[in-house]
Amino acid sequence: MKNHRAVIAATVCLTLLGLFAWAQVRKAGLWEMTSTMTWQQSPMPPGMTMPAGANSPFGGGPRTNQVCVTQAMIDKYGAPMPQSRNNQCQVSNVSMKANGMSADWVCSGMMAGKGTVESSWTDPEHSTGKVHFTGTMQMGPNSRPVEYTIETSSVYKGPDCGSVKAVQMPTDK
């Protein structure tokens, strides 16, 4: 069960990285992201629930993270894309507009399925975003359906990321 929580937590955190904006208006550097996750279908067996609370990686309240976004990420995708363990997820169909972007997120492996990433902004230092993912998660010998939505609000903090490590480029499909 501990491994499954780690996989879900990693997927959630990595997915959060997909919520910024396009190269012409976005700034490389440190961004603060506040996100709220909602499960439409939890992978937990009947009778079990996800841990709740603001510090839970499974939803239950807003979470705030700092993310370091490189210029290369902005130049290639117009936004930071979700990260994946062992390159099990790929980004495709990136569509950029003057005030937003969208892309597909396809994963295989322990968490398999497809998601969409959307982001919009009204100025270079603020953005809102949404990730929606539907698929299955391997839990021991069983595969369980999952579906979740993450809504995010991001604020640019400055060009210096300090001790926050830059996000890595995902693989393209």
Question: pLDDT tens digits, residue range 49-82?
Answer: 655 554 455 556 788 989 998 888 877 776 666 6
Residue 41: the pLDDT is 86
The region of weakest confidence among 11-20, 57-66, 94-103, 139-148 is 11-20
Tell the residue number behind the tokens 């021991």, with chain if given: 140
In this model, does residue 18 exceed pLDDT 90? no
Tokens of residue 170, six digits = 């995902």
Residue 162: the pLDDT is 96
Enclosing H/E stretch for 77: helix 71-77
CA-to-CA distance for 31 and 67, rounded, in angstroms? 5
Residue 69: the pLDDT is 86
Residue 107: the pLDDT is 87
Mean pLDDT of the chain: 77
Q: What is the pTM of this model?
A: 0.74
What is the arithmetic mean of pLDDT over 136-148?
90
What is the arithmetic mean of pLDDT over 4-31?
52
What is the arithmetic mean of pLDDT over 135-159?
90
Tokens of residue 5, six digits = 């929580």
Residue 55: the pLDDT is 47
